[in-house]
Structure 1
Amino acid sequence: MNISNYLSANRSKLFKTFLCYVSFLCFGACYTLLGSSLFDLQIRMSVLFTQATRLVPSRSFGILIGSIVSGFIGIFLESEMVLFITNMMAGVMTGAAPLFKQYNVVNACLFLSGIAQGILEIYSNTFVLSIWNEKSTNYVQVLHGTFGLGSLLAPLMVKSFLLPQVADSTNTTESADTNNTTDSGNKTFVAYTPEDVKVQYPFLFFGLIMILTSCGFLYSYFKSGSIRKSKVTEISDDHPRWKKLLVIMIGAFICHASFAVNAMTGSLAPAFVVKSDLKMTKKDGANLVSTYWTVFTSYRLIFIIATNYIEKIFIIIFNCLLTLTGAVLMFLYAAHSQTFAWISFIMLAIGFSPTFAASLGFIQEYICITQNYASFIFLIGAIGDTAHPWIITGFMDKTPELFATYVSSLAAVQATIVLLLPFVCAKLFKAKTKETLNRTSSLRISQR
């Protein structure tokens, strides 16, 4: 089938898939949008940096709640209507958040936006899968590629709106380093006023895109009706239940650690490079995050091509060793050397890019990942999105170097477990199952 015939035959499907891609691009953008603009949002709200960092886990906690709610909302609404509501809600809350100056209002907006995005994340996957059925693998891969694209575009856009930094003239603990804030008693004095802040414009931009996307889903819903959910045929196997649960737990922790490192890098890496001894600028922090997501996204294409010529296990071993090397460099030097900070983050981006998806592939070679198993894996992953950024924000103001220690330690543990997973599976199950596995169960075979 040539391109014109393909477009003509799949016009409706491609339109709906495109809407999901745009939604996921904005979802990825929101991951790094907040972290890259955190210092200017602090000025906008006239609060201490410690309080401003609490916006990060608040949004992550909203995503966790949204992930849980997504399991029930489908009982009442069709997928297109759910995507209409969540895109509209996420767009309005994301665009409105930086327009306010009161911390509690901004926090509430980002929390509600997180809930909508948690639901949107699950339904974008399931909707693309239901549209293309057995042909959905490549479309789902592209879907997660758009997440990485949004994650790298947002910092590039934000840095054009960041306020210039004023050199810090004191070395006392009461000065707020490079964010131009000085704490005296219960008051916060800043070199800029809240009216000087301009980072609300990127928030409005991505919020508007999500609102327009929601209108597309609404049009599609009334135009053609929602695609019915395809029936899932569960495939049973004769492996002992405890063995399957053990491997699923391992996969869940890999998901947990992978999502946690990505969330902390996207949300808190800019604050780390500014607040630590690196003394980098806010724009450098935005560039660092953009570079991380550029490498993370681009390497996926290299990995897919390489698997046609090299055994996947050897590529994964290479990636894990690269992650371990990057983790060591980050642990030892990233908090004090700008060069090693860049090198370690890039090495982690390459190492992390394919490992979670490959781990699911290894598990699927031995057992069937049912819908329940998949839900458990990604719920544990969502907890990683939430818990670890919340933990590390408590240290970012006074001891930001702990960020490098925390991230590198988690990355090293993840890489070690990914290395061990194929051998654990081979030991537990002895021989690979030859059955056709239920592809519907693994909705996010491509890692974010």
Structure 2
Amino acid sequence: MTLWDERVWTLFRRQWRHTVTYWSVFFSFGLCIAFLGPTILDLRCQTHSTLQQITWVFFSQQFFLLLGSSLGGLFKRTLLSSLWALFTCTVIISLIFALIPLCYNVLMLSIALAITGMAMGVIDTVANLQLVKLYQKDSAIFLQVLHFFIGLGALVSPLVADPFLSEETCLLAANSTAVNSTFNLKHLRSSLTGPGAALTNVSQYPLYIQGIALTQVSYAFWIMALINLPVPIGVLGLMYHERLLPCSGTSPRLLEQRPAAETQRAHIFHCCNLAKLRGRPASFFILHIVGGAILFVTDGIIGSYSGFVYTYAVSPPLLMAHKTAGYLDSIFWAAITLSRLVFIYLSYRFSAPRLIILSLIGVVVVHGLLLIFYTSQVFLFIGTTVLGLCISSVFPSMLAFTEDVLEYKGCATTVLVTSASTGEMILQLLVGSIIQDQGSYVFMLCCTIASFIGFCLFILFLYVRHIHKNSYSHHTDCTKDTHMKELPSSLPGSRVE
């Protein structure tokens, strides 16, 4: 039994340079996702800001990631524009990593992270779009690998940062006494993750903002900048191979791209072109909406769970030790990464709808069991692992399935990626607000309700898909009948009875 058949392997060999390049840029995406949480306290000391101020940089990055995801669809028309967008964004990421140590106030840091978020959003949309465009009906397996690289980058960046994080203090007062030493920095660091951290009660930690910054986190960012540097170099190499650079000399491929770009310039907002959308059945639009809603919920669960599972674990009734609870987020992301590796094989053996329905059932069951065994610390670790294994494949499988249902004619990828980014930001803020008002014990209830809504939405998606297939078949038959009726009168010497 082989991992994939000869036809898929032949497709990969034909497009391996493009495919590996898109995979590598998602590694850059993963690096950016996970670096902010572990380094947030050291960045607070570097910028001499309060906890309330520094936690809003999460929102800055996430909001501009959403904008970047929406704008990424503008670069889909030609290979030239797509590769230039990926090259620019990966260079920006390396530059921002190198410049973050020079951001000495929270406004500068927020601007830097906003730019990074914009680059991440463009990468997210463009890489998914191009991979779906390359493989179409065979894209599911390659999308699983693509999203595996997010998890890989998310695992690497905290490992790089960890040796340079402050253990006891990162500010030294003028009298040479440590001003932060009364707090458990590891506990506080684990509590401040994601956009929703700004809504949690951080006023109980009145950390000083004056003193000499002792942090060495700058080295972590410089190392990550170097680790990311081969990615834009790889994109540039692909552009050179495709003869899309002026230095490549006279290039038929470059000349082919220019008219295409000029032709599409007036239609840069192709997704919103009313002429293209006129005549589409209602099911076409409902599929976009419901598909986006599913990823809004599932990616929102991933963001919320990784952001607040630590707070939930150290609060009543679990009251888990801070050091022990700190492993939960790492286990969750490790499970997601491992699962995406496994789903590379499963996506070849099984259809996308089957994988999605099993994954969503698993997510609902795990959250239900976590509610039942809410006092068990052991089951929280087991549930966190199983949840990561189940939920990881929903995004790539849903993306491939939706594009297949819509026959790769619409803007499903842009809609789905943007919806996922929106959900990751909004649900974290919503869950953070509820935890602030009601207490951390409602966290698991929120996740359970969200997972059940996601499952119901997918059942609705399958129903609308059935209606869409019937309406599309009827529309095709009517078109053929109309064409056959008009055909005799258009032929010389023909006679209509």
- TM-score past 0.5 threshold: yes
- Counterpart position of 1:377: 416
- Counterpart position of 2:87: 84
- Counterpart position of 1:26: 28
- The 1:370–1:12 alpha-carbon spacing in structure 2 relative to 1, beyond 3 Å, is closer
Q: Secondary structure at the match of 1:368?
A: coil
* Superimposed CA distance per residue, residues 100-132 of structure 1 (whole angstroms, 9 cap, x where no aligned partner): 342222111111110111112222334455667
- Counterpart position of 1:35: 37
- The 1:342–1:154 alpha-carbon spacing in structure 2 relative to 1, beyond 3 Å, is farther
* Inter-partner Cα distance in structure 2 for 1:81 and 1:360: 24
**1:351 and 2:390 matched:** yes
Select the residue among 236, 243, 246 that pairs with 2:283: 243
* Inter-partner Cα distance in structure 1 for 2:426 and 2:310: 19
* Inter-partner Cα distance in structure 2 for 1:356 and 1:294: 17
Is the Cα–Cα contact under 8 Å of residues 94 and 207 in structure 1 kept in the other structure? Answer: yes
For residue 348 of structure 1, what is the amino acid of its counterpart?
L
- The 1:12–1:251 alpha-carbon spacing in structure 2 relative to 1, beyond 3 Å, is closer
* Superimposed CA distance per residue, residues 30-77 of structure 1 (whole angstroms, 9 cap, x where no aligned partner): 112212333443444444433332222211111111122223356796
Q: Secondary structure at the match of 2:411?
A: helix
- Counterpart position of 2:166: 163
For residue 368 of structure 2, what is the amino acid of its counterpart?
V
Is the Cα–Cα contact under 8 Å of residues 37 and 158 in structure 1 kept in the other structure? Answer: yes
- Counterpart position of 1:118: 121
For residue 208 of structure 2, what is the amino acid of its counterpart?
F
Select the residue among 104, 107, 126 that pairs with 1:104: 107
Is the Cα–Cα contact under 8 Å of residues 283 and 464 in structure 2 kept in the other structure? Answer: no
**How far off is 1:157 after superposition?**
3.5
* Inter-partner Cα distance in structure 2 for 1:100 and 1:279: 36
* Inter-partner Cα distance in structure 1 for 2:320 and 2:44: 18
For residue 247 of structure 1, what is the amino acid of its counterpart?
L
Q: Identity over the aligned pairs, expressed in percent?
A: 19
Is the Cα–Cα contact under 8 Å of residues 35 and 270 in structure 1 kept in the other structure? Answer: no
Is the Cα–Cα contact under 8 Å of residues 363 and 390 in structure 2 kept in the other structure? Answer: yes
- Please give the residue correspondences for 1:324-403 in structure 2 after superposition, counting only pairs within 5 Å: 324-331=364-371, 338-360=377-399, 363=402, 366-394=405-433, 399-403=439-443
- The 1:85–1:428 alpha-carbon spacing in structure 2 relative to 1, beyond 3 Å, is closer
Q: Secondary structure at the match of 1:197?
A: coil
Q: Which has the higher helix share?
A: 2
Further displaced range: 110-119 or 240-249: 240-249
- The 1:408–1:381 alpha-carbon spacing in structure 2 relative to 1, beyond 3 Å, is same
**1:297 and 2:337 matched:** yes
Is the Cα–Cα contact under 8 Å of residues 70 and 414 in structure 2 kept in the other structure? Answer: no
- Counterpart position of 1:70: 72
* Superimposed CA distance per residue, residues 344-385 of structure 1 (whole angstroms, 9 cap, x where no aligned partner): 322321221233444455556654353323322332222213
Further displaced range: 46-55 or 80-89: 46-55
**How far off is 1:201 after superposition?**
3.4
Return the index of the structure with the highest Cα Rg: 2
Q: Secondary structure at the match of 2:456?
A: helix
**How far off is 1:159 after superposition?**
3.5
**1:263 and 2:272 matched:** no
- The 1:319–1:72 alpha-carbon spacing in structure 2 relative to 1, beyond 3 Å, is closer
Is the Cα–Cα contact under 8 Å of residues 275 and 397 in structure 1 kept in the other structure? Answer: no
Is the Cα–Cα contact under 8 Å of residues 340 and 393 in structure 2 kept in the other structure? Answer: yes
Select the residue among 199, 206, 214 that pairs with 2:232: 214
**How far off is 1:89 after superposition?**
1.2
Is the Cα–Cα contact under 8 Å of residues 160 and 220 in structure 2 kept in the other structure? Answer: yes
**How far off is 1:275 after superposition?**
7.5
**How far off is 1:92 after superposition?**
1.5
- The 1:23–1:268 alpha-carbon spacing in structure 2 relative to 1, beyond 3 Å, is farther
* Superimposed CA distance per residue, residues 251-292 of structure 1 (whole angstroms, 9 cap, x where no aligned partner): 11011112222333455555665678745547853x433322
Select the residue among 449, 461, 469 that pairs with 1:409: 449
**How far off is 1:215 after superposition?**
3.5
- In structure 2, the gaps of 5 or more residues are 1-8, 170-181, 192-200, 245-252, 265-270, 476-497
- Please give the residue correspondences for 1:159-198 in structure 2 after superposition, counting only pairs within 5 Å: 159-164=162-167, 178-179=187-188, 188-189=207-208, 195-198=213-216
For residue 110 of structure 2, what is the amino acid of its counterpart?
N
Is the Cα–Cα contact under 8 Å of residues 148 and 341 in structure 2 kept in the other structure? Answer: no
* Superimposed CA distance per residue, residues 222-266 of structure 1 (whole angstroms, 9 cap, x where no aligned partner): 56433667999x9x9999711222232111101111222233345
- The 1:34–1:284 alpha-carbon spacing in structure 2 relative to 1, beyond 3 Å, is farther
- The 1:203–1:410 alpha-carbon spacing in structure 2 relative to 1, beyond 3 Å, is farther
- Counterpart position of 2:485: none
**1:288 and 2:335 matched:** no
Further displaced range: 339-348 or 181-190: 181-190
* Inter-partner Cα distance in structure 2 for 1:364 and 1:73: 18
Is the Cα–Cα contact under 8 Å of residues 28 and 231 in structure 2 kept in the other structure? Answer: no
* Superimposed CA distance per residue, residues 135-164 of structure 1 (whole angstroms, 9 cap, x where no aligned partner): 766444322221122123333333343333
**Aligned residue pairs, count:** 417
* Inter-partner Cα distance in structure 2 for 1:162 and 1:271: 20
Is the Cα–Cα contact under 8 Å of residues 73 and 126 in structure 2 kept in the other structure? Answer: no
* Inter-partner Cα distance in structure 1 for 2:74 and 2:27: 25
**How far off is 1:87 after superposition?**
1.0
* Inter-partner Cα distance in structure 1 for 2:19 and 2:345: 24
- In structure 1, the gaps of 5 or more residues are 1-6, 167-173, 436-448
* Inter-partner Cα distance in structure 1 for 2:212 and 2:448: 35
* Inter-partner Cα distance in structure 2 for 1:107 and 1:58: 6
Is the Cα–Cα contact under 8 Å of residues 270 and 288 in structure 1 kept in the other structure? Answer: yes
* Inter-partner Cα distance in structure 2 for 1:185 and 1:360: 42
Is the Cα–Cα contact under 8 Å of residues 247 and 425 in structure 1 kept in the other structure? Answer: yes
